[in-house]
Structure 1
Amino acid sequence: MNSDLQCMQNRELSWLKFNERVLEEANCEETPLYERLKFISIFTTNLDEFYMVRVGSLTDLALMEPDEIDNKSGMTPIEQLEAIYEATVPLYALRDRALGDIEEKLQKHGIQQMRPSELTTFEQHYAERYFEEEVMPLLSPQIIDVRHPFPHLENKQLNIAVLLRHKGRTLFGIIPVNPALKRIIQIPQDSLRYMLVEDLILSYAAKVFDMYEVVESTIMCVTRNADINTDEGFFDEDMDYRQHMRKVIKKRERLAPVRLEIQSMISDEFSDYLCRRLNIKKRQIFVSRIPLDMSFIFSFQDSLPPALKQTLLNKPFTPQASAGVNPHESMTRQVLRKDIFLSYPFESMTPFLNLIKEAASDAAVVSIKITLYRIARQSKLAEYLITAAENGKEVTVLMELRARFDEQNNIEWAQRLEEAGCRVIYGLDGFKVHSKICLITRRERTKIQYITQIATGNYNESTAKLYTDLSLLTSNQEIGEDAVSFFKNLALGNLNGQYRHLRVSPSSLKPMIMTMVDREIRKAKSGEEGSIFMKMNSLTDKGVIEKLIEASMAGVRVQLIIRGICCLIPQVPGRTENITVISIVGRFLEHSRIYCFGKGADRKLYISSADMMTRNTERRVEIACPVLDQKIADRIMQMIDIQLHDNVKAREQSSDGRYTLRQSSGGQRVNSQEYFMEEAIRNAALVPAAPPKKHSLLRRLFQKKG
């Protein structure tokens, strides 16, 4: 066995460990109670997508390439699936216990999810009347027999499944929970007590199937494979790409089941029937004691009275004004004068939005070019781009329609942008464009000026309030020229462009990483201090992992902050003992990608859109940009230092692959995200106030004369 494989683990099992860390936040006593409830919902949504995408992909692979071996764990697709199913079961039990504990504590505040059987007599009469008047008319129940075929069950749609007896026969019945139904039913005269509509339907299943005997019933939902090839079948150059993607989205809704969730134990007879009909194995059935869809808790939050919101929710935080930006001066002039750095969500995205808004009406602006991967449904950025096009600017938008689960939103915006006069292009065959880059080109007399913005996260005003990301705005002429070449190469389908500063996958980003690691290895071997820091969402690229192992063995200190999947196992004696890995899971989603090689004057610092995953380094168009402004580079390094000392939300990975929450041993507690929030508030106080309006001064002068 390759000795390096001893320092690696399977990516899917590593991801499940990450989601377990998310679930651990639901048990954190220091986190406000209702916020803990949200972590259960986030855990559930994460697991849904994992089964739709990763389990779906492995299921396909097990059919097409059953002997293919995972290059980091040596497991076949079927072995990986078996390990996933086994590792998932205890996560359901952990989630059930976590919600039970939270619900018990919420009851002390009057918040309680009720089952119909727990209602008072008066409330039961109300529930029955509500069912008959508001719910029953919208139900479409069905029995399954020779004349009524088993229906297609929509992905993640809630259903009531019922085992029936009639004249000695056993039948199966199903009641889809109509999405048009109001999910939360609040108890009269007590808005903090509520029922879920699926529980109400379940309790009246006998009334729905009134001519049958209900033997068993449960709430269930099917998870379907959503890992589809968005380029498959797209060979006709005359085909409308947006229309092609609409067909892809519809296809996803009908793919094969990969998981069945039920909300109560059922008999072997019942489960055998469901397995036959859905073509799944019993190990793909998971029992949950809690609601199968936890998304309702976000809307129920609006029902909380102000006093409870103060007690049960995080203290509200609004992204702050950046101390490095004068809000009363043109953003264009400021960026032309110096580089500007923004740290989301601690600082507001507004300066960048204002830059685009200014450019839309700036007579000197010739063009705006931007890559869009995920944007908000209500996007000021897109509206400003539309305004720019309407004002006669050349606006080029590379809209990635293949951003998974955001395809429909991107299709709709692409159509609006195109109708407004923007030039919309859709990337490259087989390569998603995941880069975050915007280029504004200005002509001042005979001089061409470039303003380039590079980011680690999406141009999404909503997620910029929830994800930690970095944004760099620069008028550096050489970086601007690189950006010009980048957009030209994308338009021509050239993946091998040459750049002075930017490093672009799939051609030059990974080679740069490998070269920089080799540089640190050479330094360590010559007796100098070798140093590598990398922050990302996931690390799965085997080549990068092997290179980091080599660096560790050469004596290079390697510090990694990896929120999610990490296939590299640190602290293995003789191999990775110089590598530390921490994962920070907290109030905000850690999303920034930072690579730093060396220290002091020798330091090379990059921000990037890319994780070190094979899909990013070899099958996507990603960008890494050097931070050339030393003050900004120093600030980023200070942020890194704070995160490396986090002992509240950081979990450290050990040589057995497990993660342990760091403990502050009597010293200062460091919660890096709270530190950055407090720092942003302090810095915002330094932002200059608006100068007094001239007419106000004139008015005071006249008042004095009077």
Structure 2
Amino acid sequence: MAKPKKSNSDTAKKNKAPEVDFRDPQYYFNRELSWIEFNYRVLHEALDDRTPLLERLKFLSIFSSNLDEFFMVRVAGLKQQVEANVTKLTPDGRTPQQQLDDISDRLHPMVAEQHHHFQDTLRSKLTEHGVYLLDYIDLNQEQRNYLQTYFEEKIFPVLTPLAVDPGHPFPFISNLSLNLAVVVRDPESEKEYFARVKVPKVLPRFVPLPLEDVTQADSQSMVWLGVPLEQVIAHNLDFLFPGMNIQEYHPFRITRNADIAVEEDEADDLLLAIEQELRKRRSGGSVVRMEVPATISDEVRTMLMGELLLEPNDVYELPGILGLGDLMSMMSLPLPELKDPPWTPVVPARLRRFGDLELDPSEPNTETDEDLFTEIRERGDLLVHLPYHSFSATVQHFITAAAYDPDVLAIKMTLYRTSGDSPIIKALIAAAENGKQVAVLVELKARFDEENNILWARKLEQAGVHVVYGLVGLKTHTKISMVVRQEKKHIRRYVHIGTGNYNPKTAKLYTDLGILSCREELGADLTDLFNHLTGYSRQRSYRKLLVAPVNMRDRTIALIRQEIDRAENGGTGRIVAKMNSLVDREIIETLYEASQAGVQIDLIVRGICCLRPGVPNVSENIRVISIIGRFLEHSRIFYFNNEGDEKVFIGSADWMPRNLNRRVEAITPIEDPTLAKDLQEILGIMLSDNRQAWELQPDGTYIQRRPPEDSTEPGTHTVLMQMAMD
């Protein structure tokens, strides 16, 4: 692990720290504004010319999709607080209305920068590589004729124009929909009318054109040519409004409140209650944002704002096309030289001798089934690091092997998010059909995955799996599974405890860690935890695990205080923690105390960080970096020096109030010395990163690290991919 920087105060351990009120708002960053800065770091990957061109489009798309969810949940929640006259201040001293104002001030120029960069820079760079996303007005007559035929045959039958007049109330505009606001004039009465046309999502957002009609350049050099779907519709509105004169048209896109709330203690059937709330979500909450082109007329803009009950700050006027999240479709273009080099996850070295573990076992007593459990039992814990290691050959195989192993008696696991074609689900169904006891906790409240989880819960129940939905008032976010196996005269429990979801798709995109083990104390702890989740239990103590909301907060603070005690008594205090977000005020206060005592603290926080580092006499011994790159950093690692008897943990929880107070989470110690050193090496690689790392400054800005001119750029993801191959 990289060595910590020397303390700014040589006497920090000897002299008592000055009295500081750690609840002073000046020592905290705002949660929402910190998230916006995280999303700007995502956008910067699109602005950075070191990023391959199509990957830049991907990051533009991710930035947009992230913002959609931010408005649907976070901004919507703040608006509800304002409507309810909530005046409670955040730790950084802001009211809900102040947060909305500051969000607007920061986001308007940021989103404009995104659109300008696409319009002015990336579109021209695409043409250099034979990719032409044109505007309709730039097409020649042959291309327009082609699109008119395409419109009549493929688009026109799908469209439904909706008039707005005394007999037709303003139509419902669905969430995240792209629409055309159309003003038409009746030539007989000279009256003007407003209509709305929805751009259908069932059709490709960008309509391809045949390359043989190209006149702009040599067709041999072209890879793709197309125009936005809404422009094709807009230039053929005469088909929708025959006999009327089209006065003006403007695209617009809206975002609605999409959070759901369920009174669990009043719901007789949680599954049915969630389904009812999902129907309400589809029918639409209040509108929280509208995106329009900068060319929209004042009259249409004002009319839409009035009908949708929007304030000026809720409207984003943007250059170019709307809905840049749809640029993700460009990643399918056959231009590998404009993408990151492909990465194929590898089978961990310890498992390579067992043959093809990528295949799902379908026959009982296959050699690989025996080998996987034998490997864990005889050679100790196995650390899995995704996406560098293969999910299907490790975590997925752990479940599928158990499903077909005749010596396996039971399988228990939690499911927070999984894919639509999940092989894990299929394995659990096969296990139940093979006569094994299978119990699965499906978290129905996983935001935006509720429908998917309801579908799988019903399929599992139909197959005879015991399905439970967790504890009232808590989300079950922990990533755990347990296999109970008969081995001669003994029952042995094999466990997987991880940081990420049992999802083969995100396992290729998210960095996550997990441990496969048969340690008796971990098996006993998971048994207690599953009994707590599925039955009636007030389990308050665990042998090894840190479990939220039971003991995780207290154990975490105790670990930090141990470092404080050692630093104050002349020893070495050292903490390195990696997580997605750091928000919890009690944890932050304790870290400030540790810094005052001279503990050297490095935090690797991908997203939200409410802690203010580098403040004299408060946090001068705390450094914060964020890693942004081709993979989404999702793993959580916690390191405590413990006076040389180092303690390392991994698990599902961030240091946020929701994780510590309102979710079921599990963090496990890594007790195998070799694996603990592996985790320290991962932390060290990140701390020395000068390609993907951003350093948080005391004023809340982030500065991207750049290597010296005579050195290389050892980006974290590149280094770890190379290590996995080696």
Indicate the TM-score class for this superposition, using the shorter chain for normalisation.
over 0.9
Give 1:497 deviation, angstroms. 3.0
Structure 2 CA distance for partners of 1:95 and 1:209, relative to 1, 3 Å: same
Q: Name the counterpart of 1:232.
A: 263
Structure 2 residues without counterparts, runs of 5 or longer: 1-20, 213-222, 355-367
Distance 1:73 1:300 in 2: 41
Correspondent of 1:10 among 8, 26, 30: 30
Which residues of structure 1 form unaligned runs of 5+? 683-706
State the shift of 1:493 in Å. Answer: 4.9
Q: Aligned ranges for residues 71-150 of structure 1 at < 5 Å? A: 72-100=91-119, 101-150=121-170
Secondary structure of the residue aligned to 2:665 is: strand
**Which residue in 2 is equivalent to 1:672?**
716
Does 2:649 align with 1:606? yes
Q: 1: distance between equivalents of 2:572 and 2:712? A: 28
Given residue 234 of structure 2, which amino acid in structure 1 is its aligned partner? L
**Are 1:453 and 2:496 counterparts?**
yes
Partner Cα separation in structure 2 for residue 98 and residue 600 of structure 1: 50
Identify the residue that residue 272 of structure 2 maps to in structure 1. Answer: 243
Residue 688 of structure 2 corresponds to which residue in structure 1? 645
C-alpha distance in 2 between matches for 1:648 and 1:194? 35
Partner of 1:381: 424
Aligned partners of 2:606 and 2:626 also within 8 Å: yes
Select the residue among 293, 304, 317 that pairs with 1:287. Answer: 317
Does the 8 Å CA contact 1:485/1:497 hold for their aligned counterparts?
Answer: no
Cα deviation, residue 22, structure 1: 0.3
- 1:45-83 CA-to-partner distances (Å, cap 9, x unmatched) read 00000000100111111122421211x221111111111
CA contact (8 A) 2:54 2:330 kept: no
Distance (Å, rounded) in 2 between the aligned partners of 1:214 and 1:79: 42
- Distance in 1, matches of 2:23 and 2:438, equals 52
Structure 1 range deviating more: 89-98 or 507-516: 89-98
TM-score (normalizing by structure 2): 0.90
Letter in 1 for 2:403: A
SS of the residue corresponding to residue 34 of structure 1 reads: helix
Measure, in 1, the Cα distance between the counterparts of 2:22 and 2:543.
38
CA distance in 2, matches of 1:211, 1:362: 71
Deviations 1:175-212 (A, max 9, x none): 01122223331111266011121121122235433443
Cα distance in 2 between the residues matched to 1:648 and 1:147 = 60
Aligned-partner residue type, residue 345 of structure 1: P
Matches of 1:581 and 1:497 in 2, distance apart?
33
TM-score by length of 1: 0.93
Choose which of 199, 204, 222 in structure 2 pairs with 1:182: 204
Name the aligned partner's letter for residue 155 of structure 1.
N
Q: Could you say if the C-alpha distance between residues 608 and 277 of structure 1 is closer, same or farther in structure 2, counting changes exceeding 3 Å?
A: same
Greater mean deviation of Cα atoms: 412-421 or 598-607: 598-607
Of 339, 363, 383, 1:313 maps to: 339
Which residue of structure 2 lines up, in the alignment, with residue 688 of structure 1? none
* CA distance in structure 2 between the partners assigned to 1:148 and 1:74 by the alignment: 46
Alpha-carbon distance change, 294 to 423 in structure 1, aligned in 2, over 3 angstroms: same
Aligned mates of 1:569, 1:438 — CA distance in 2: 37
Residue correspondence of structure 1 range 529-678 to structure 2 within 5 A: 529-598=572-641, 601-665=644-708, 666-678=710-722
- 1:315 aligned partner, one-letter code: P
Give the drift of 1:495.
5.8
Residue of structure 2 equivalent to 1:301: 331
Counterpart residue number, 1:692? none
Flag the 1:493–1:256 CA change in 2: closer, same or farther, 3 A.
farther
SS in 2 for 1:38: helix
Greater CA deviation, 189-198 or 123-132? 189-198
Aligned 8 A contact 1:324 1:341 in 2: no
Letter matched to residue 335 of structure 1:
I
1:204 aligns to what? 236
The superposition leaves residues 127-165 of structure 1 with CA deviations (integer Å, 9 ceiling, x where unpaired) of 112112221121100110110111111100111112334
Kindly tell me the number of residue pairs found equivalent between the two proteins: 674
Matches within 5 A, 1:326-337: 326-328=352-354, 329=368, 330-337=371-378
1: distance between equivalents of 2:304 and 2:184? 14
1:322 counterpart letter in structure 2: P
How far has the Cα of 1:400 moved from its partner? 0.3
The alignment partner of 1:286 has SS state of strand
Counterparts in 2 of 1:170 and 1:73: CA distance versus 1, 3 Å: farther
- Of 193, 204, 208, which residue of structure 2 is paired with 1:171? 193
Match of 2:51 in 1: 31
Contact residue 218 and residue 264 of structure 1 kept, 8 A: no
How much does 1:550 deviate? Answer: 1.1
- Counterpart CA distance in 1 for 2:616 and 2:631 is 34
Cα distance change of structure 1 residues 480 and 233 upon mapping to structure 2, 3 Å threshold: closer
Amino acid corresponding to residue 421 of structure 2 in structure 1:
Q
Alpha-carbon spacing, 1:336–1:546, altered in 2? closer, same or farther (3 Å): same
Check the 8 A contact 2:60/2:325 in 1, yes or no. Answer: no
Give, in angstroms, the shift of residue 2 of structure 1: 5.9
Q: Bigger shift: 60-69 or 551-560? A: 60-69
Could you list the per-position Cα deviations for residues 587-624 of structure 1 after superposition, in whole angstroms to 9, with x for gaps in the alignment?
A: 00000011111167421111010011111110000011
Contact 2:549 2:665 in 1 (8 A): yes
- In the alignment, residue 86 of structure 1 is paired with which amino acid? D
Secondary structure at the counterpart of residue 659 of structure 2: helix
Cα RMSD (Å) of the superposition? Answer: 1.7
Name the residue aligned to 1:699.
none
Specify whether residues 215 and 68 from structure 1 end up closer, same or farther in structure 2 by C-alpha distance, changes over 3 A only.
farther
Look up the match of 1:342.
Answer: 384
| Larger RCO (CA within 8 A; separation ≥ 6) | 2
Q: Distance in 2 between matches of 1:141 and 1:640?
A: 56
Tell whether the 8 Å contact from 1:35 to 1:313 is kept in structure 2 after alignment. Answer: yes
- SS state at 2:658 partner: helix
- Structure 1 residue 3: deviation in Å? 6.2
State whether residues 583 and 650 of structure 1, in contact with CA within 8 Å, keep that contact through their aligned partners in structure 2: yes
Query: How far is 1:233 from its partner?
Result: 6.8
- In 2, the alpha carbon distance for the partners of 1:618 and 1:233 equals 17
User: How far apart, CA to CA, are the structure 2 residues paired with 1:170 and 1:498?
Assistant: 72
Q: Which moved more, 1:356-365 or 1:510-519?
A: 356-365
- Determine if contact 2:22/2:589 at 8 Å carries over to the other structure: no
2-structure distance, mates of 1:233, 1:207: 50
Residue identity in the other structure for 1:98:
H
Deviation digits for residues 356-409 of structure 1 (CA, Å, limit 9, x no counterpart): 222112222111000000011111111111111110000000000111111111
The answer as to 2:385 corresponding to 1:364 is no
Which secondary structure state, in structure 1, belongs to the residue aligned with residue 266 of structure 2?
coil
Over 3 Å counting, the alpha-carbon distance change for 1:456 and 1:187 in structure 2 is: same
- Is 1:92–1:287's contact at 8 Å kept on the other side of the alignment? no
Distance 2:698 2:463 in 1: 55
| CA 296–259 in structure 1, closer or farther in 2 if over 3 Å, else same | closer
Opposite residue 669 of structure 1, the aligned amino acid is E
The change in CA–CA distance for 1:331 and 1:301 in structure 2 (over 3 A counts) is: same
Shift of 1:255: 0.6
Q: Which among 265, 277, 284 is matched to residue 307 of structure 2?
A: 277
Partner residue in 2 for 1:193:
225
Please state how far the C-alpha of 1:292 moved relative to its aligned partner: 2.8
Residue 569 of structure 2 aligns with an amino acid whose one-letter code is S
2:42 to 18, 22, 32: 22
Q: By how many angstroms is 1:324 displaced?
A: 2.7
User: Which amino acid is the alignment partner of residue 288 of structure 1?
Assistant: L
Taking the aligned partners of 2:238 and 2:553, their CA distance within structure 1 comes to: 61
Q: What SS does the corresponding residue of 1:36 show, helix, strand or coil?
A: helix
Q: Does 1:474 align with 2:517?
A: yes
